[in-house]
Amino acid sequence: MLSASSTKGGLAMKLLNFGALNIDVVYQVDHLVLPGETISSTSRETNCGGKGLNQSVALARAGAQVFHAGMVGEDGGMLLELLGEAGADTSLVREVPGGSGQAIIQVDRRGENSIILYGGANQRIDEPYIDEVISQFEEGDCIFLQNEISNLRYLMERAHEAGLRLIFNPSPFEKCLLSYPLDYVDYFVVNEVEGHQFSGKTEPEEILKTLMDRHQTAVLLTLGKEGALYGDDTGTVRHGIYQSEVVDTTGAGDTFTGFFFSALLSGQPPQDALRLASQASCITVSRPGAAPSIPTLAEVRERFHTER
């Protein structure tokens, strides 16, 4: 068992995020390149990213103690450094020969992006490593998963057997996810498009109800400019967005997830968790990059003049 304190954010349980760590190569463009078109970029930056890493950074900067598990390649030093600086525990991350995961990202003048993933070390997650990591956690602890690493089905099964509460952000969507053991999920985190792909519904309330009823789960549904909805067996709450200049939307969803669950799992009401997550992601979109743009809790409080 890991002996590190798990109560930095007042949580009795441990939080594990088993997810991808990517080197994001970000090209600033006028518009997202079209099929057959060649365009020039106005800048190129290399940042830390990956849905897993971003969500761990957001959890940690929001004040939660999170253990990150995943694999990096020989070039992964910057990823470990940033995670550690944010306050996440990186002792479970393994370095393997070859390259880390990579994302090629275009960001247009409106801040919208398109992303190509290269799995790299993220696709080398194997069963023995999963067993080793899961054995460090116990019933009632929480695990965060996204869909950017290998052996995800096995990981879900092992986490369930170990009695971990599963927070699943099935992104990016792939059809094979529909046959995964989704009834093991305690909290679904989807955007409107993923919500439609999983539920077949288009109206936010219907997406929420369908997923909740079908899988007996709580659901966090993010709706871009329309805000977010959260539903569990105590009811449904909604929150709008805070206006800000949009520089780069990359990592906004990951910020939302990290701040929302940091608050919810430490006992704050869902409405307060939604508000905090909306405030934090409003700051993220106003800055370039994924992980580097995620604010700390202190920054969120200062910007919105709130105490909690």
Binding residue for ligand RIB, selected from 17, 54, 106, 249, defined by CB under 6 A:
54
Closest C-alpha to 21, from 113, 106, 86, 114: 86
In the complex with ligand RIB, which residue's Cβ is closer, 46 or 135?
46
Distance of closest approach, residue 200 Cβ to ligand RIB, in angstroms:
24
Q: According to the annotation, is 222 in a ligand binding site? A: yes
Binding residue for ligand RIB, selected from 33, 115, 223, 237, defined by CB under 6 A:
115
- Window 249 to 288, contacts with ligand RIB (CB under 6 A): 250-251, 253-254
Task: Return the range that interacts with ligand RIB (CB under 6 A); candidates 43-51, 196-204, 258-266, 271-279.
Answer: 43-51
Task: Return the range that interacts with ligand RIB (CB under 6 A); candidates 50-58, 186-194, 236-244, 294-302.
Answer: 50-58
- Window 193 to 222, contacts with ligand RIB (CB under 6 A): none
Tell me how many residues contact ligand RIB (CB under 6 A): 15
In the complex with ligand RIB, which residue's Cβ is closer, 6 or 55?
55
Distance of closest approach, residue 156 Cβ to ligand RIB, in angstroms:
19
**Is 89 one of the binding residues for ligand RIB (CB under 6 A)?**
no
Task: Return the range that interacts with ligand RIB (CB under 6 A); candidates 87-95, 186-194, 231-239, 248-256.
Answer: 248-256
Q: Footprint of ligand RIB on this chain (CB under 6 A)? A: 20, 22, 24, 49-51, 54, 103, 115, 148, 250-251, 253-254, 290
